[in-house]
Chains A and B, each alone.
Chain A
Amino acid sequence: MEIGPTTHYVMGGVRVDGDSQMSDVPGLFAAGECAAGLHGANRLGGNSLSDLLVFGKRAGEYAARFAKENALGAVSSQAIESAEKCALQPFERKSSENPYAVQHTLQDVMQDLVGIVRAEAEMLQALERIRELKARSERASVDGNREYNAGWHTALDLHNLLTISEVITRSALHRKESRGAHFRDDFPAKDEQSGKFNIVARKGTNGEVQLAHEPIPPMPQELQQIVEEMK
Chain B
Amino acid sequence: MATATFRIWRGERGEGQFRDYTTETSEGMVVLDVVHQIQAEQANDLAVRWNCKAGKCGSCSAEINGMPKLMCMTRLNTLPLDKPVTVEPMKSFPHMRDLVTDVSWNYEVKKRIPKFQPRRPDAPDGTWRIAQEDVERVQEFRKCIECYLCQDVCHVLRDHHMHDKFIGPRFLVYAAALEMHPLDVADRIPELTKDFGIGLCNITKCCTKVCPENITITDNAIIPLKERVVDRFFDPLSKLFKVFGGSNT
Quick one: which of B12, B46, B96 contacts A150, CB cutoff 8 A? B46
Interface residues of B in 41-55 (CB under 8 A from A): 41, 44-49
Cβ–Cβ contact A142 & B44, under 8 A: yes
Cβ–Cβ contact A147 & B41, under 8 A: no
Per-position contact with B for A71-111: 1 when CB-CB < 8 Å, else 0?
00000000000000000000000000011110010000000
Per-position contact with B for A136-164: 1 when CB-CB < 8 Å, else 0?
00000011110111111010000000000
Interface residues of A in 115-146 (CB under 8 A from B): 142-145
Interface size on B, residues (CB 8 A): 14
Cβ–Cβ contact A149 & B40, under 8 A: no
Check B69 for interface membership: any CB of A closer than 8 A.
no
Cβ–Cβ contact B98 & A100, under 8 A: no
Check B39 for interface membership: any CB of A closer than 8 A.
yes
Quick one: which of A104, A142, A150 contacts B47, CB cutoff 8 A? A150
CA distance A104 to B40 in the complex (A): 9
Cβ–Cβ contact A147 & B44, under 8 A: no
CA distance A99 to B40 in the complex (A): 8
Check B155 for interface membership: any CB of A closer than 8 A.
no
The smallest beta-carbon distance between B10 and chain A, in angstroms, is 10
Known contacts A148-B49, A150-B39, A151-B39; A98/B96 CB under 8 A: no
| A90, closest chain B residue (CB) | B44
Check B71 for interface membership: any CB of A closer than 8 A.
no
Check B181 for interface membership: any CB of A closer than 8 A.
no
Check B8 for interface membership: any CB of A closer than 8 A.
no
Cβ–Cβ contact A142 & B40, under 8 A: no
Could you say which of A101, A143, A150, A151 has the most chain B C-beta atoms within 10 Å of its C-beta?
A: A150
The smallest beta-carbon distance between A74 and chain B, in angstroms, is 35
CA distance A142 to B39 in the complex (A): 11
Known contacts A142-B45, A152-B45; A147/B97 CB under 8 A: yes
Could you say which of B41, B44, B49 has the most chain A C-beta atoms within 10 Å of its C-beta?
A: B44
The smallest beta-carbon distance between B243 and chain A, in angstroms, is 59
Check B90 for interface membership: any CB of A closer than 8 A.
no
| B45, closest chain A residue (CB) | A144
Residues of chain A with a CB closer than 8 A to B97's CB: 147-148
Residues of chain B with a CB closer than 8 A to A143's CB: 44-45
| A154, closest chain B residue (CB) | B44
CA distance A99 to B44 in the complex (A): 8
The smallest beta-carbon distance between A141 and chain B, in angstroms, is 9
CA distance A154 to B12 in the complex (A): 21
Interface size on A, residues (CB 8 A): 16
Cβ–Cβ contact A151 & B45, under 8 A: yes
Check B100 for interface membership: any CB of A closer than 8 A.
yes
Residues of chain A with a CB closer than 8 A to B41's CB: 98, 100
Cβ–Cβ contact A148 & B39, under 8 A: no
Known contacts A142-B45, A152-B45; A147/B40 CB under 8 A: no
CA distance A142 to B46 in the complex (A): 11
Could you say which of B40, B48, B96, B98 has the most chain A C-beta atoms within 10 Å of its C-beta?
A: B40
The smallest beta-carbon distance between A204 and chain B, in angstroms, is 33
Per-position contact with A for B29-41: 1 when CB-CB < 8 Å, else 0?
0000000000111
| B10, closest chain A residue (CB) | A144
The smallest beta-carbon distance between A154 and chain B, in angstroms, is 8
| A141, closest chain B residue (CB) | B44
Quick one: which of A100, A104, A145 contacts B44, CB cutoff 8 A? A100
Residues of chain A with a CB closer than 8 A to B40's CB: 98, 100-101, 104
| A99, closest chain B residue (CB) | B44
Residues of chain B with a CB closer than 8 A to A104's CB: 40
The smallest beta-carbon distance between B125 and chain A, in angstroms, is 26
The smallest beta-carbon distance between A89 and chain B, in angstroms, is 15
Per-position contact with B for A19-56: 1 when CB-CB < 8 Å, else 0?
00000000000000000000000000000000000000
Residues of chain A with a CB closer than 8 A to B12's CB: 147
Interface residues of B in 1-44 (CB under 8 A from A): 12, 39-41, 44
- Complex A-B: 27 CB contacts under 8 Å: A98-B40, A98-B44, A99-B44, A100-B41, A100-B44, A142-B44, A142-B45, A143-B44, A143-B45, A144-B44, A145-B45, A147-B47, A147-B96, A147-B97, A148-B47, A148-B97, A148-B98, A148-B100, A149-B45, A150-B44, A150-B45, A150-B47, A150-B48, A151-B39, A151-B44, A152-B44, A154-B44
Q: Which residues of B are interface residues toward A (Cβ below 8 A)?
A: 12, 39-41, 44-49, 96-98, 100
> Top 3 closest A-B pairs, CB basis?
A151-B44, A144-B45, A148-B47
